[in-house]
């Protein structure tokens, strides 16, 4: 292959630079053109070499990954995949990086210096390839909006017989999309919300807390036994499939309850959108709205089909506002989407479908 994806690897560990380079160079479509030892060195080499993609460590001396990313995105816009340590500090910094314009991230398996980093080699290769082809117009800096002080968080959610559910699936670009959609939803939304965002273990709790601070609805990471309540969003925890069981009182349905499991990954993914949507469609019948947002692959297409078969409604994000038009496209091409809308109209369309 002549036109290989040219990658710059930035990490303060010589071992990590070597191992990440070996992983990427093992793919015939990728070539590591240089490595850099910190953010300052990385900026210099991005300027000189103009790589197609940068892999960027977060915690580095002299100039860390966040500051380097900010400079790159403002001065030499280049697709960046962050490489994050699995820590609370690392998770917070990772979501700031996504706000700054990073395409996606991978998590080092065992800390800043991970001798077992080859365990995430396939994921890293896939994300570098995906980063090289993203719609870069949808990766500008975003600043989360804080909710108005007039809202008091939070009124208790309620299980209301007959109230439905909104089932949302997302992958690459999803955190940015969800940060735009969920803060626009009113706490009186007549449904509970379930969210599957492809994300590794250790990051979803931090992500949910960030979204909760910015939103009028209650948002948190799902736990087994959680009840699906009006005005509350539950985000599937990383490394767990999420499904829905129906709780009953006598002969009456009281509402949905979260079930989590670590069954084998599906298409290399855990959690999966399909697992959540399939069970939600069965549990809620026609009282469900399925939503597919930006992401690579086709996860969610089976779930959206099940929602349509159960007389529910479906929405997909349009191509022009997706970072990666993969998951929505699979559903659209299958003919199972009722409405295709841009990201800035998604919250409004969700509310419309719940009212009809």
Kindly tell me if the per-residue pLDDT of 172 is higher than 80. Answer: yes
* Dihedral of the alpha carbons of 206, 207, 210, 213, in degrees to the nearest 10: -100
Whether residue 89 sits in one domain with residue 197: no
Question: Which residue range(s) make up the domain with 25?
Answer: 5-138
Q: What is the mean pLDDT of the chain?
A: 89
Tens of pLDDT, residue by residue over 61-91, are 888 888 999 999 989 999 999 988 765 677 8
Contact 164, 289 (CB under 8 A): yes
Whether residue 343 sits in one domain with residue 197: yes
Whether residue 119 sits in one domain with residue 251: no
Residues 6+ apart with CB under 8 A from 245: 256, 257, 258, 259, 279, 283
**Domain assignment present for 154:** no
**Domain assignment present for 158:** no
Nearest Cα residue to 165 out of 224, 223, 231: 231
Averaged pLDDT, 275-296: 95
Averaged pLDDT, 216-220: 95
**DSSP codes of every residue in 267-328:** TTBSS-HHHHHHHHHHHHTTSEEEEE-SBSS-TTHHHHHHHHHTT-EEEEE-GGG-SSBSHH
**Domain assignment present for 157:** no
**Domain assignment present for 145:** no
Q: Tell me what pLDDT residue 135 has.
A: 80
Whether residue 168 sits in one domain with residue 97: no
CA distance 242 to 97: 27
Whether residue 179 sits in one domain with residue 128: no
Give the count of domains, the chain: 2
Task: Considering the candidates 21, 84, 171, 243, report the single residue annotated as catalytic.
Answer: 171
Kindly tell me if the per-residue pLDDT of 150 is higher than 70. Answer: no
**Domain assignment present for 59:** yes
Whether residue 297 sits in one domain with residue 178: yes
Whether residue 246 sits in one domain with residue 292: yes
Whether residue 183 sits in one domain with residue 118: no
**Domain assignment present for 109:** yes
Whether residue 189 sits in one domain with residue 83: no
Whether residue 118 sits in one domain with residue 220: no
Given 88, 123, 138, which residue is the final one in a domain?
138
Among 93-107, 170-184, 249-263, 324-338, the minimum mean pLDDT is found in: 249-263
- pLDDT category, 117, cuts 50, 70, 90? confident
Would residue 67 show up in a list of annotated catalytic residues for this protein? no
Given 104, 122, 138, which residue is the final one in a domain?
138
CA distance 312 to 75: 46
**Domain assignment present for 245:** yes
Task: Considering the candidates 198, 241, 274, 298, report the single residue annotated as catalytic.
Answer: 198
What are the tokens at 220? 């948190």
Would residue 154 show up in a list of annotated catalytic residues for this protein? no
Other Cβ atoms less than 10 A from the Cβ of 175: the count is 24
Nearest Cα residue to 56 out of 40, 135, 47, 5: 40
Bigger pLDDT: 189 vs 118: 189
Nearest Cα residue to 270 out of 294, 233, 242, 290: 242
Kindly tell me if the per-residue pLDDT of 109 is higher than 80. Answer: no
Which CATH number do you get for residue 34? 3.40.50.2300
Would residue 198 show up in a list of annotated catalytic residues for this protein? yes
Kindly tell me if the per-residue pLDDT of 264 is higher than 90. Answer: yes
How many CA atoms are closer than 13 Å to the CA of 149, on its beta-carbon side? Answer: 0
Claim: this prediction has a pTM higher than 0.85 = yes
What are the tokens at 348? 């409004």
CA distance 230 to 92: 28
Whether residue 320 sits in one domain with residue 204: yes
Kindly tell me if the per-residue pLDDT of 352 is higher than 80. Answer: yes
**Domain assignment present for 149:** no
Averaged pLDDT, 127-147: 76
Which CATH number do you get for residue 246? 3.40.50.180
CA distance 188 to 2: 56
First to last CA, the chain: 52
Bigger pLDDT: 356 vs 240: 240
**DSSP codes of every residue in 133-172:** TS-GGG-----PPPPPTTS-S-PPP---TT-EEEEEEE-T
Whether residue 194 sits in one domain with residue 111: no
């Amino acid at each position: 292959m002549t036109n290989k994806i040219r990658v710059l690897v930035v990490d303060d560990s010589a071992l990590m630079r070597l191992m990440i380079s070996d992983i990427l160079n093992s793919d015939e479509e990728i070539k590591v053109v240089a490595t850099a030892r910190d953010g300052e060195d990385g900026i210099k080499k991005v300027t000189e070499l103009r790589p197609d993609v940068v892999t960027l460590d977060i915690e580095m001396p002299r100039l860390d990954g966040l500051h380097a990313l900010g400079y790159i995105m403002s001065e030499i816009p280049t697709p960046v995949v962050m490489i994050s340590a699995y820590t609370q500090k690392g998770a917070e910094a990772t979501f700031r990086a996504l706000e700054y314009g990073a395409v996606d991230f991978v998590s080092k398996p065992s800390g800043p210096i991970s001798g077992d980093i080859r365990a995430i080699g396939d994921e890293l290769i896939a994300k570098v390839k995906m980063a090289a082809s993203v719609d870069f117009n949808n990766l500008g800096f975003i600043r989360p909006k804080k909710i108005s002080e007039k809202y008091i968080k939070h009124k208790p959610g309620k299980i209301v017989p007959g109230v439905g559910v909104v089932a949302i699936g997302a992958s690459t670009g999803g955190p940015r999309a969800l940060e735009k959609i969920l803060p626009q939803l009113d706490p009186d939304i007549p449904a509970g919300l379930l969210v599957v965002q492809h994300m590794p273990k250790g990051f979803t709790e931090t992500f949910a807390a960030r979204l909760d601070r910015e939103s009028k609805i209650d948002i948190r990471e799902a736990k087994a036994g959680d009840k699906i309540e009006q005005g509350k969003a539950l985000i599937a925890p990383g490394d767990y499939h999420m499904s829905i069981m129906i709780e009953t009182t006598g002969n009456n349905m009281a509402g949905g309850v979260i079930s989590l499991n670590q069954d084998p990954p599906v298409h290399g993914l855990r959690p999966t959108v399909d697992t959540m949507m399939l069970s939600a469609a069965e549990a809620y019948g026609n009282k469900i709205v399925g939503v597919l947002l930006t992401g690579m692959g086709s996860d969610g297409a089976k779930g959206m089909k099940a929602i349509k078969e159960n007389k529910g409604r479906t929405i997909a994000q349009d191509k022009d506002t997706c970072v990666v038009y993969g998951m929505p496209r699979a559903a659209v091409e299958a003919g199972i989407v009722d409405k295709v809308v841009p990201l800035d109209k998604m919250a409004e369309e969700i509310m419309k479908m719940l009212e009809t």
